[in-house]
Amino acid sequence: MRPMCLSIAIICATLKPTPAGAQAPSGYTPLPSITLPATLDRVLRDYERAWQTGDETVLAALFTPDGFVPTRPGWVRGRAAIHATYESASGALRLRALAFAIADSVGYIVGAYGYGDRPDVPDTGKFLLALRRSAGGPWLIAADLDNSNRP
């Protein structure tokens, strides 16, 4: 099985689907943040810094060479396409982790994001990062799937 397929298979096997039509109740309380191991936390902090400074070159370098990012019409693949997708991306992005798992060379981070300078910024969306690494190498993002919390 190819590494990307294995990453996706692990994510699918470990996450339970939400029934269609399920929505957060009106009194929804956000899930608490968790502390990630330093090697995974680096992925989130590097992503935040690159986004905040509008550095699409650094953002694209956080991905595997064949990484995926969603766009309105569909997925883009590869660092050059990711670089182009993030050319106008910037702002006070804040990422927080809700869950993670790693096994050998694949893993994932489930999290929430928001925008603002305060550390207690409310969540405006959620994300799932599929991760991959080569032996002894840093964790890289194989796929970034995110979605706004807007109805």
Find the CATH number of the domain harbouring 99.
3.10.450.50
Residue 14 forms part of a structural domain: no
Residue 96 forms part of a structural domain: yes
- Looking at the structure of the chain, the number of domains it has is 1
Residue 112 forms part of a structural domain: yes
Please name the residue that has the structure tokens 């060479």. 65
DSSP 8-state class, residue 60:
H
| Cα 46 off chain centre by | 12
**Tens of pLDDT along 75-122?**
999 999 999 999 999 999 999 999 999 999 999 999 999 999 887 789
Residue 82 forms part of a structural domain: yes
Average pLDDT, the chain: 86
**Tens of pLDDT along 18-46?**
333 344 456 678 999 999 999 999 999 99
The first and second tokens of residue 145, run together, are: 């799937």
Evaluate if residue 15 carries a pLDDT over 90. Answer: no
Check: CB of residue 115 under 8 Å from CB of residue 92: yes
Distance CA 108, CA 8 (A): 9
Residue 25 forms part of a structural domain: no
3-state DSSP call for residue 8? helix
Evaluate if residue 1 carries a pLDDT over 60. Answer: no
Residue 12 forms part of a structural domain: no
CA triple 111-145-151, angle to 5 deg: 80
Q: Say which residues have a Cβ less than 8 Å from residue 151's Cβ, sequence separation at least 6.
A: none
Residue 47 forms part of a structural domain: yes
User: Does the predicted TM-score (pTM) go above 0.75?
Assistant: yes
Residue 17 forms part of a structural domain: no
Closest CA to 64 of 132, 144, 135: 132
State which residues form the domain around 119.
Answer: 3-7+32-148
